[in-house]
Amino acid sequence: MRTSVLFASIMTLCLVACEAGSLRRSQARPEPSSHRLSTPVPNAEEAPRLALQEDGLPAPARDAFSLAEDLAPAEPSDALSLTHEPHLSPVDHLGRARALRAEGDLSGALTEARRAVHDAGEDLDARETALDHLIPLALQSGQKWLAADAYTELANLFPDGAEPLVQKARILLEVGDTEGSLRAAEAALLLDPEYPEVYQVLGRGHLAAGELTEAIIRFKQAVHLDPYHGYALNNLGLALLLSGKNESAAEALAQAAYLLPHEGFIHNNLGLAYERLGRYEEATMAFDTATRLSPKNARARLNKARLARQLHASADVQALLGAEAPLDAAR
């Protein structure tokens, strides 16, 4: 079932900075105090903008799911294999796909890749190669469900590896199937409970479902397995921020910003954490960094402008109160 769970809070979930990586088909595992300005005057119409990473994104115990759906062998999806007339002589469909892709014809390239899947038949090596070509073409063509089906078949071809299911879970999150994503991720967890990316994508799934406690647990597990996982630290900080644990959120986000100093969305989230703590100078610096690194990041620009207006309004109020104080004392 393809369901979309919209988590309405102070954030708009945005999957960014993605977690590209080659398929892992075996059990081998990848390897201060600050000056505080006076409290700004709040504006109820202006909500802070948070940013979720997809990506590196990624993560998560859910209600009982039928993990057998993801683990049991399944027939290849009809959508993957494109039936066509038999050839009188061998045809290199993948060669055609590469040529069409180089010419910018993604649709034609995808068609040829699907024909290659069909011609592979029971040849596992040929089928794997064809699927490896099909997946990026499907993603570039916007056919994410087709890519998810391809990862499902790769999971069947390589039942001992967790990576295909992790990739499937990521894609399902992108298309809004949070429940399906969590099922795939939980199945991956059974295959490799020491793979940080499993917990990363699990955390993202729980975060999308509004299950903050579960999300925090999974992100912490990802960071425990990989202390230098900046994207998991960003998502941990985001989940903590949404839970009102602002001090812990700031610590996680500061570490993420240190590990990934060129990711503007992380500095945006860090700015929000500092703002929550009343560390307005640091918040302003973080928003400045976010807008400098990502000039097109609307969230960072809005947060920077909002905080500047609130600080300006607070300064005006304090100036007014300071000017009137002698009159009050004279009375």
Lowest mean pLDDT among 67-71, 129-133, 257-261, 327-331: 67-71
| 3-class state of residue 160 by DSSP | coil
Largest Cα separation within the chain, whole Å, is 105
Among 314, 328, 25, which residue's Cα sits nearest to residue 165?
Answer: 25
pLDDT per residue as tens digits for the range 239-253: 999 999 999 999 999
Beta-carbon count within 10 A of 296 CB: 8
Share of the chain above pLDDT 70, in %: 69
**Residues 229-255: b if buried by 16+ CB within 10 A, e if exposed:** bbbbbbbbbbbbbbeebbebbbbbbbb
**DSSP per-residue string spanning 269-281:** HHHHHHHHTT-HH
What is the pLDDT, as a whole number, of residue 123? 82
Residue 275 has pLDDT above 60, yes or no: yes
What distance in Å separates the CA atoms of residue 127 and residue 292, rounded to the nearest whole number? 45
The residues, any chain, with a CB within 8 Å of residue 266's CB and separated by 6 or more, are: 51, 53, 230, 234, 253, 256, 257, 260
| Residue of 313 and 55 predicted with greater confidence | 313
Answer whether 180's CB lies under 8 Å from 174's CB. no
What is the pLDDT, as a whole number, of residue 318? 65
pLDDT per residue as tens digits for the range 92-124: 888 888 988 899 988 899 988 889 888 888 888
DSSP 88: S
- The tokens describing 317, both together, are 């109020």
The residues, any chain, with a CB within 8 Å of residue 142's CB and separated by 6 or more, are: none
**Model-level pTM greater than 0.75?**
no
What distance in Å separates the CA atoms of residue 103 and residue 143, rounded to the nearest whole number? 19
Helices 124-140 and 106-120: crossing angle in degrees, nearest 10, is 160
